[in-house]
């Protein structure tokens, strides 16, 4: 951290402190909005044309020859994305979920276990990057030519990732920007925990479905199940079933237990 402090100036520290505060003040039910705000601010602070977030989990008993060391992408979101790229991302998640080797994800996974930020060239050299399938299939169409990768290690088997992108012709990310992202990640632990909790990627037996995420968000407000059903346009019984599934996955006893879980995580700070 000392080397990062030397790279960062007072203006950087004030900007990061403001972002940490904004994320910490976000209501528990607004994790999606907080994530988008986070990506917008990172895009502005670091200088990126797009930001991608992903939540990853490690298999309990990965095969010894698993090319991704057991790590799998469980959820993802983009600051900006065309329909084609979203579809490609879904295919990519499905492929890596089946254990298909991917050199970029493999390089990231090989460094798992600590909060980190890495320049693309620290993960993959220029020759490998320019011949990388994702670059050829999707990034080139959007004129993406460079990436900066960061990850917050929340547990030995759970991580929250941010990939920042620049367009072809723009300068490459520098060590300064790498360290700025790293320092942001180090100070955002509570936000990262809530982000994974809201998607069933932390302290949960399995990830939440998209509808369960919608219901979980509203369970953290004062809306009753009937009101949640009205807001989501689904039946009251369906809401009750989703709520029961959420509680079971998190191992909590009802709505009070769900709220206590969030408050407990917020109380740890970080």
Q: What is the pLDDT of residues 16-63, one digit of tens each?
A: 999 999 999 988 889 999 999 999 999 999 999 999 999 999 998 888
Does residue 177 sit in the same domain as residue 229? Answer: no
Does residue 151 sit in the same domain as residue 252? Answer: no
The proportion of the chain whose per-residue pLDDT surpasses 90, expressed as a percent, equals: 59
Does residue 187 sit in the same domain as residue 215? Answer: no
- CA–CA separation, 240 vs 148, rounded Å? 42
What is residue 131's predicted lDDT score, i.e. its pLDDT?
85
Does residue 89 sit in the same domain as residue 122? Answer: yes
pTM over 0.85: yes
For residue 249, pLDDT over 70 is answered with yes
Tokens of 152: 């917050």
Does residue 239 sit in the same domain as residue 119? Answer: no
Does residue 150 sit in the same domain as residue 240? Answer: no
Query: Per-residue pLDDT averaged across 61-66, rounded?
Result: 88
- CA–CA separation, 198 vs 208, rounded Å? 8
Does residue 173 sit in the same domain as residue 232? Answer: no
Alpha carbons within 13 angstroms on the beta-carbon side of residue 268 total 14
Sorting pLDDT into bands at 50, 70 and 90, what band is 13? very high
The CATH number covering residue 183 comes to: 3.30.450.80
Contact 129, 120 (CB under 8 A): yes
Tokens of 239: 């809401």
For residue 230, pLDDT over 90 is answered with yes
Mean confidence (pLDDT) of the chain: 88
Sorting pLDDT into bands at 50, 70 and 90, what band is 182? very high
Tokens of 232: 């989501």
More confident residue, 267 or 75: 75
DSSP per-residue string spanning the chain: -HHHHHH--HHHHHHHHHHHHHHHHS-GGGHHHHHHHHHHHHIIIII-SEEEEEEEEE-SS--TT-TTTTEEEEEEEESS--HHHHHHHHHHHHHHHTT---HHHHHHHTTTTS-EEEEHHHHS-HHHHHT-HHIIIIITTTTEEEEEEEEEEEETTEEEEEEEEEETTSPPP-HHHHHHHHHHHHT-HHHHHHHHHTTT-SSSSSPPPHHHHHHHHHHTTT--HHHHHHHHTS-HHHHHHHHHHHHHHHT--HHHHHHHHHHHHHHH--
Tokens of 205: 């037996």
- CA–CA separation, 129 vs 131, rounded Å? 5
Full domain range(s) for residue 260: 210-268
- CA–CA separation, 255 vs 247, rounded Å? 8
What is residue 89's predicted lDDT score, i.e. its pLDDT?
79
Tokens of 92: 């990519």
The CATH number covering residue 253 comes to: 1.10.10.10
Q: What is the pLDDT of residues 74-129, one digit of tens each?
A: 999 999 877 777 777 788 788 888 878 888 999 999 999 999 999 999 999 999 88
For residue 234, pLDDT over 90 is answered with yes
Count CB atoms within 10 A of the CB of residue 187: 18
């Amino acid at each position: 951290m000392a080397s990062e402090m030397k790279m960062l100036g007072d203006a950087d520290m004030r900007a990061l402190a403001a972002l940490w505060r904004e994320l910490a003040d976000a209501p528990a039910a607004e994790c999606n909005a907080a994530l988008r705000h986070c990506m917008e601010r990172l895009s502005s602070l670091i200088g990126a044309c797009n930001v991608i977030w992903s939540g990853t989990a490690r298999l309990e008993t990965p095969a010894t020859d698993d090319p991704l060391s057991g790590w799998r992408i469980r959820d993802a979101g983009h600051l900006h994305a065309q329909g084609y790229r979203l579809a490609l991302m879904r295919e990519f998640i499905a492929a890596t979920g089946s254990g298909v080797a991917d050199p970029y994800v493999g390089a990231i996974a090989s460094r798992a276990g600590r909060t980190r930020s890495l320049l693309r060239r620290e993960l993959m050299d220029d020759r490998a990057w320019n011949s990388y399938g994702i670059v050829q299939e999707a990034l080139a169409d959007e004129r993406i030519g460079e990436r900066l990768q960061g990850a917050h290690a929340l547990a030995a088997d759970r991580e929250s990732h941010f990939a920042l992108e620049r367009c072809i012709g723009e300068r490459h990310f520098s060590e300064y920007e790498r360290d700025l992202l790293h320092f942001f990640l180090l100070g955002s632990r509570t936000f990262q925990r809530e982000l994974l909790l809201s998607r069933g990627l932390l302290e949960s037996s399995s990830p939440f479905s998209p509808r369960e995420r919608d219901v979980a968000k509203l369970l953290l407000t004062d809306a009753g199940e009937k009101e949640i059903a009205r807001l989501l346009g689904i039946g009251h019984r369906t809401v009750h079933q989703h709520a029961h599934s959420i509680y079971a996955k998190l191992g909590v006893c009802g709505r009070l237990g769900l709220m206590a879980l969030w408050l407990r995580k917020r109380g740890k700070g970080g």
